[in-house]
A and B are shown apart, each in its own frame.
Chain A
Amino acid sequence: MHPAISVILFTVTSGAGFGAVALIGAGYPLSDNPVFFFLTALVAGALAVIGLASSTFHLGHPERAWRAFSQWRSSWLSREGVASVIALTLFGIFVLARLFTDLPTQGLGWAVSAFSIATVFTTSMIYAQLRTVPHWHSWLTPAVYLAFSLASGFLLVAAAGKASALGEIPVALIAMLILLIAWALKIVWWQRAAGASLASRGMTSGSATGLGKIGEVRLLERPHTGGNYLTREMVHQIGRKHAAKLRFIALVIGAALPVVIAAAVAWWEFATPVLGLAFVAMLAGLFVERWLFFAEAKHSVSLYYE
């Protein structure tokens, strides 16, 4: 599949943003200073909004995007739109209520968390629902998206928050643990993907043309000598060539580096804002990981073009 920059940017940054929003809603201890609290909330919300805004860049008609709220009964993309707007609206009310009133906000906070997590889940289901792309069509896809969202979101709030430990456990140690779980899930995802070829789902040139009953099927000529929307969007091949190297890069920048930083923070008891470095490294690693998520995925339409 074609790895569109806007979609990569969207899924990574809004994942981190909604992860952070979910944790703030769940009551992660942030600064008592109202200005600093507001800025932290602003960064988390902005990441989520930037992601959503960038996702509209790849639309043919962004001016009609409002229509996408209507089909939540059948469409995961529509559900994502609905969930994200509810989550962000509730988050805005939550932040204002915390800043300017003494009203109890914990109930609202849980609702913010629930809708933020639901947003990330619906994003992942846009891909996981597609039977046409066996790489994605698994419950592991939402698991990985949620884990990465919470891990990157946790690094952000941990860097900005006032707590050095939650209960008895140092924040950096928790960060390390979440990072390891998230990347372990991704490695399981990669392992499953290695076995999830089109052929393993029964999709071959033979079944795509129905000619497999006669003999071995091979494409002799494409319909046109030039490319088309389908070949650019779904028969993208460049990414697969360097897949192994890129996975290594993603693991070094997105997993090893943040884990080492978190370990250093835990060991030498650095101030938690140092975890901000881990957040930046992880985000960079996730861009590579997400690029591969698209570039490596094979769509069944390639059976008619390869």
Chain B
Amino acid sequence: MTLLPAPSTKRLGLVIDLDICVGCHACAVNCKEWNTGGYGAPLGDVDAYGVKPEGAWLNRIHTFEVSPKDSPAQIVHFPKSCLHCQDAPCVTVCPTGASYKRSEDGIVLVDEDRCIGCGLCSWACPYGAREMDPVEKVMKKCTLCIDRIYNDNLAEIDRVPACVRTCPAHARHYGDLGDPNSDVSKMVAERGGFDLMPEAGTRPVNKYLPPRAKTSPNTPPKQSEQTESLEATGFLGWLDKALEKLG
């Protein structure tokens, strides 16, 4: 059913801290590893050990350079996966009902047995969160590790998405963003968490935390201080003057 369900009070999702992410790609690797044996068909690769390896990934880490006007450029590692949008355009465009949003927790999933591989949902997603599996020819996307988070066979500590569990820097957090008292919601409120591309009108559940403002110990000294320090005295002053005379 591709009509969006009534908004759920529970909105499971991720909070990604861009201040902390070190760009190690461990989340993407563990995502690939878990999801190739988890929900749905394996995550396919083509020419995996060849010259042009390519495959379906549910999580990819981009790296951006941000240049503030008054301080040096900084590098921001930027993991990106499905944002489980509240107004998910990928769901409503699906002609078969394969793409759907769960009414109980807001997770957006693909029923792979119904997917015809037309690719329209990937066109409708502003973020590039969906990728066609090159082997299975069905649409793949982040499931929020639905086969982990509700899995009673796993130890409680492991009942979080694979990317969150594996992040060595704790840059990724999982929780209920529909509950204002959850840890993730508090984190978003404290740090000014934001939506990606809000103008796309998708109302993402996942939030990103901005990099903290940098301190600037290497700010060049003011002009007046500079001239002062150039006026050497004593032996150095004599040397300076002597060398000046030499031309």
Contact assessment for B60 and A224 in the assembled complex, using a CB-CB cutoff below 8 Å? yes
Give A173-207 interface residues, CB cut-off 8 Å to B. 201-203, 205, 207
Q: Interface residue count for B (Cβ, 8 Å)? A: 68
Show 27 A/B contacts (Cβ-Cβ < 8 Å), sorted by A.
A59-B116, A60-B118, A61-B115, A64-B116, A67-B95, A67-B97, A70-B97, A71-B94, A71-B96, A75-B95, A130-B123, A131-B89, A132-B89, A132-B123, A209-B64, A209-B196, A211-B64, A211-B76, A214-B210, A217-B66, A218-B65, A222-B62, A227-B52, A228-B54, A228-B131, A229-B132, A301-B125
Question: A269 at interface (Cβ–Cβ under 8 A)?
Answer: no
Across-interface contacts of A277 in B (CB, < 8 A): none
Segment from A76-84, A105-113, A242-250 that makes contact with B: A76-84
Interface residues of A, Cβ cutoff 8 Å to B: 1, 58-62, 64-65, 67-68, 70-71, 73-78, 81, 126, 129-133, 201-203, 205, 207-211, 213-224, 226-230, 233-234, 299-301, 303-305
Question: B160 at interface (Cβ–Cβ under 8 A)?
Answer: no
Q: A209-B196, A210-B196 are in contact. List 6 more A-B contacts (CB 8 A).
A: A77-B93, A203-B199, A210-B208, A218-B64, A300-B200, A301-B125
Shortest distance in angstroms between B216's beta carbon and chain A's nearest beta carbon?
Answer: 14
Shortest distance in angstroms between B221's beta carbon and chain A's nearest beta carbon?
Answer: 23
Question: B149 at interface (Cβ–Cβ under 8 A)?
Answer: no
Contact assessment for B64 and A126 in the assembled complex, using a CB-CB cutoff below 8 Å? no
Question: B61 at interface (Cβ–Cβ under 8 A)?
Answer: yes
Contact assessment for B78 and A130 in the assembled complex, using a CB-CB cutoff below 8 Å? no
From A58, A61, A74, A214, contact of B211 by CB (8 A):
A214
Contact assessment for B134 and A229 in the assembled complex, using a CB-CB cutoff below 8 Å? yes
Contact assessment for A233 and B93 in the assembled complex, using a CB-CB cutoff below 8 Å? no
Given A132-B123, A220-B64: A229 in contact with B56 (beta carbons within 8 A):
yes
Across-interface contacts of B124 in A (CB, < 8 A): 129-130, 132
Consensus secondary structure, chain B interface: loop
Question: B7 at interface (Cβ–Cβ under 8 A)?
Answer: no
